[in-house]
Structure 1
């Protein structure tokens, strides 16, 4: 699959009923999962003062996901925010920023992200939510990193899509326990089967 020779990966934490969000927030706080997200979406360059200007990751998200993170781009990463609101960059003070770009469809986000990835020597573009962006990006996706959180979320309003049958688990962690939230969770990596 991939997009312009760049790997497209999705990353999400989902409950046993596939919930990824409630009231535009993560339904849990598991610090090990947040560390996992940061580690996955940020590439440590051997020389972070190189010509890439220190970009260590590229993420694509929808407007609501961006707002759920306090409407701020993630540190050391370039954010592409997909929204149909034409004046969104203006509303959020994002014009002429080099770490956040507002685009109006997923194709533009992927095209610009792939171009930026080539220049920054990054081999992966990360799709980080929400529900519609995950769905729309699935056809371009090569790899999916899921955190399975062992809980059911009532009144969930954002769900992770069902995985297409050509994705297979290639790695999985042991079940872990988060003391603070009291929740069990595990990591799994899926890759698209060749052919």
Structure 2
């Protein structure tokens, strides 16, 4: 199954200047729990935003940069090639950024969205989730607290 996973503001903002705009520790824990042990597909800028590769995951990086290398990672130049190197019998996660989500959406079977209940100024955005194509099957609301500055919901969508 191909799963897109993202934390997305009400106005679909994902980040600004190659960084997340918010800090939600519970969302990081959920991301780690869902993606550990799997292939994760991302763009080069997303990969470069990490201090180091994420442990216990196979990194597949999509880039147009010729000769790009990242130790221990698989480098490809298209979503089709990225998906081709991932095992078909396991979940594969598309983890961003904005352009990768846009080109990955037609391939996705499921969306794992953390909806941050606030609007933010960003320079990367998640594509619009079309109600005609996607059905929400889980929504779990979480109120802000001392570690989370914004209310947020975990939302799971499946393709209709």
Fold in common (TM above 0.5): yes
Please list every run of 5 or more consecutive structure 2 residues that lacks an aligned counterpart in the other structure. Answer: none
1:50 alignment partner in structure 2: none
Contact 2:3 2:92 in 1 (8 A): yes
When normalised by structure 2's length, the TM-score is 0.94
**Alignment counterpart, residue 162 of structure 1, candidates 104, 124, 128:** 128
Decide which structure has greater strand share: 2
| Number of residue pairs aligned between Structure 1 and Structure 2 | 159
Post-superposition shift, 1:109?
0.5
Residues 1-195 of structure 1 correspond to what in structure 2 (within 5 A)?
7-42=1-36, 56-70=37-51, 72-89=52-69, 92=70, 94=71, 97=72, 100-113=73-86, 117-118=87-88, 123-154=90-121, 156-164=122-130, 165-193=132-160
Post-superposition shift, 1:103?
0.9
Compare CA radii of gyration and give the structure with the larger one: 1
Contact 1:167 1:190 in 2 (8 A): yes
Which whole-Å deviations, capped at 9, do the CAs of 1:42-83 have from their partners, x for residues lacking one? 2xxxxxxxxxxxxx111000011101112x321000000000
Please list every run of 5 or more consecutive structure 1 residues that lacks an aligned counterpart in the other structure. Answer: 1-6, 43-55
Post-superposition shift, 1:105?
1.1
When normalised by structure 1's length, the TM-score is 0.78
Contact 1:30 1:178 in 2 (8 A): no
Contact 2:62 2:76 in 1 (8 A): yes
Please give the alpha-carbon distance, in whole angstroms, between the structure 2 residues aligned to 1:175 and 1:76.
28
